[in-house]
């Protein structure tokens, strides 16, 4: 069994969609090392463009590099590390300060630059990594723009993507709605409910439900419209007062 103590070569594998094959990335990286070289694989399925996305495996990778546990880091392409140019450059700097060499399967020509005499080797390598980092971010922004431009909007109808799917944030599940209503019925405030109820993104990462979502569910649990035409005045004021107290 290969342990972190017995290997200083690491593969970082990132798949941002279910269509991407991690096995293919790993096999390509194996072809870059000697047959008897030991390696450890760090793999995750996550976006590398948005700043608010949690990447625990990548965070562990950074920690290992800073602690100088990794001498050679292999990636399928630089955009597997980051599609944000500034973040990618920050990682390159961390690796340089920690004596960690990055090898990319799709940017193999950089290996030739490293064979050049100094200072040209470092000059060309820095230039090319900067170029490819910028290209990765530009590609992500271009794709995002194409997706947004393909949204179909028709007055009086549900907004749809180019695939015909409903556009926008995914609706809360019935289970979450019922859980919020049950907690509110037990006297829990909106803030307390947020701490007890989690929702999940498309990558199954949990996060606390937002206060606005709880507020909306609480309103709907008393009817579609909280107006004096649909509720008695004293009951309406009671609900409003409960919501105001929870928001404080």
Please work out, in degrees rounded to the nearest 5, the angle formed at the alpha carbon of residue 106 by the alpha carbons of 124 and 128.
Answer: 20
- Quote the pLDDT of residue 169: 65
Please work out, in degrees rounded to the nearest 5, the angle formed at the alpha carbon of residue 200 by the alpha carbons of 195 and 201.
Answer: 135
Angular region, 164: left φ>0, alpha ψ -120 to 50, beta rest? left
By the 8 A CB rule, do 193 and 242 touch?
Answer: no
State the DSSP H helix or E strand holding residue 243, giving kind and residue range, or none if neither. helix 233-247
Which of helix, strand or coil describes residue 227?
coil
Write the DSSP assignment of 157-195 as a string of letters.
Answer: S--B-TTSPBPSSPPPPHHHHHHHHHHHHTT--HHHHHH
- As a whole number of angstroms, the distance between CA 114 and CA 105 comes to 15
- Segment-wise mean pLDDT, segments of 10 residues, the chain, 248 residues: 66 82 91 93 79 84 94 91 81 89 86 69 63 57 59 64 63 85 89 89 80 83 40 52 60
- Quote the pLDDT of residue 133: 54
Phi/psi for 222 (5° steps) reads -105, 5
- As a whole number of angstroms, the distance between CA 115 and CA 135 comes to 24
Please work out, in degrees rounded to the nearest 5, the angle formed at the alpha carbon of residue 218 by the alpha carbons of 213 and 220.
Answer: 95
- As a whole number of angstroms, the distance between CA 191 and CA 248 comes to 9
Helices (H) and strands (E) in the chain, counts: 9, 6
- Quote the pLDDT of residue 70: 95
Q: Which residues pair with 102 in a beta bridge?
A: 73
């Amino acid at each position: 069994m290969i342990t972190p103590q017995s290997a200083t070569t690491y593969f970082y594998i990132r798949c941002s969609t279910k269509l991407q094959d991690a096995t293919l990335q790993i096999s390509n990286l194996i072809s870059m090392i000697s047959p008897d070289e030991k390696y450890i694989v760090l793999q995750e399925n996550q976006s590398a463009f948005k700043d608010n996305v949690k990447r625990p495996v990548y965070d562990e990778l950074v920690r290992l590099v800073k602690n100088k546990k990794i001498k050679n880091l292999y990636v399928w392409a630089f955009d597997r590390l980051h599609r944000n140019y500034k973040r990618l450059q920050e990682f390159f700097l961390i690796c340089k300060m920690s004596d960690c060499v990055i090898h990319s399967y799709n940017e193999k020509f950089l290996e030739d630059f490293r064979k050049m005499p100094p200072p040209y080797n470092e000059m060309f390598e820095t230039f090319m990594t900067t170029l490819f980092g910028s290209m990765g971010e530009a590609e992500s922004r271009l794709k995002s723009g194409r997706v947004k431009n393909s949204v179909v909007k028709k007055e009086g109808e549900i907004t749809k993507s180019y695939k015909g799917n409903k556009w926008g944030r995914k609706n809360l599940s019935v289970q979450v709605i019922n859980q919020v209503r049950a907690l509110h019925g037990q006297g829990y405030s909106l803030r307390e409910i947020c701490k007890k109820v989690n929702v999940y993104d498309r990558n199954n990462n949990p996060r606390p439900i937002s206060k606005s979502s709880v507020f909306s569910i609480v309103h709907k649990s008393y009817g579609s419209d909280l107006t004096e035409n649909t509720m008695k005045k004293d009951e309406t004021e009671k609900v409003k007062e409960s919501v105001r107290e929870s928001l404080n």
